[in-house]
Amino acid sequence: MNIKELTIHFKEMKHYFIVVVLVFGFSFYLGWANSEQFKYFLDTQIKGLQSLSQSLSSKDHPQLWFFLVIFLNNALKSVLIVFLGLMFGILPLFMLVANGMILGYVLSMQTHESTLSIVLKGILPHGIIEIPVILLACAYGLKLGMLVWKSGMQLFIPTQLRTARGELSKILRLSKPLIVVIVSLLLLAAIIESTLTYWLVHL
């Protein structure tokens, strides 16, 4: 496991990082400005989150429950989305779009409190870590998906195919330190969300 090799590889991933940021930003805009067109899907996602939040709030030691659920949910999804990228990159793209739209939709719905206040109190403390980590996971998931596409398209070009397979093998090797980075940062984000964010939202 080599964290240094992974950080060096980040430079090779810059185009994927740019793509995921642009897709996330565009999806955020769709959820914010065109929420009516996606209302049924977004409302379904929001109701599920609200139901879970209410259930956890009613338990003894709700902050501990929030921490466990937030961490396990985010960590499992983020790690899985990297490897599910092997299915042609479809699921990482879906996760990217869905998360961006939901965030945009939630902020567009705020009526009783200013959007800035919601961002500063309910999103920024943990989101400054959580969102980039999700984007990182999606970027590597998309990379794996593109390598699978590339391998399939180059079946009849043996030299090119060896190159694609070699790159795919490298990404899979780097997945070990990548998982450590993802899980560690999401652990920190979950601690912040279940303490500082929880306290700010319930002021």
Residues 25-48 pLDDT 10s = 999 999 888 767 777 777 787 788
For 156, phi and psi rounded to 5 degrees?
A: -95, 10
| Least confident stretch, 13-17, 101-105, 126-130 | 101-105
133, 182 Cβ separation under 8 angstroms: yes
74, 127 Cβ separation under 8 angstroms: no
Q: Which amino acid type is present at position 170? A: K
Q: What gap in Å lies between CA 161 and CA 125, rounded to an integer?
A: 44
In which band, very low, low, confident or very high, does the pLDDT at 122 lie, cut at 50, 70 and 90?
Answer: confident
In this prediction, residue 15 carries a pLDDT of: 95
- Considering the chain, what is the average pLDDT of its residues? 86
Nearest to 88 by CA among 136, 26, 182, 152: 152
77, 91 Cβ separation under 8 angstroms: no
For residues 25-48, one letter each, b for 16 or more C-beta atoms within 10 angstroms of the residue's C-beta and e for the rest, the string is eebbebbbeebeebeeebeebeee
Nearest to 52 by CA among 30, 69, 67, 76: 69
Q: What gap in Å lies between CA 67 and CA 102, rounded to an integer?
A: 21
Domain locations in the chain? 3-202
115, 107 Cβ separation under 8 angstroms: yes
When comparing pLDDT for 116 and 172, which is higher?
A: 172
| Top-ranked range on mean pLDDT: pick from 4-18, 104-118, 138-152, 160-174 | 4-18
| Residues 76-110: tens digit of each pLDDT | 999 999 999 999 899 999 999 999 998 888 888 76
Q: Which amino acid type is present at position 169? A: S
CB-based contacts of 62, cutoff 8 Å, min separation 6: 56
Percent of the chain scored above 70 by pLDDT?
88
Q: What is the mean pLDDT of residues 167-171?
A: 87
CB-based contacts of 186, cutoff 8 Å, min separation 6: 71, 74, 75, 78, 129, 130, 133
Is the per-residue pLDDT at 59 higher than 90?
Answer: no
Alpha helices of the chain — where are they, by DSSP H?
Answer: 3-9, 14-33, 39-57, 62-83, 90-108, 115-118, 124-153, 158-192, 198-201
In which band, very low, low, confident or very high, does the pLDDT at 135 lie, cut at 50, 70 and 90?
Answer: very high
Alpha carbons within 13 angstroms on the beta-carbon side of residue 183 total 11
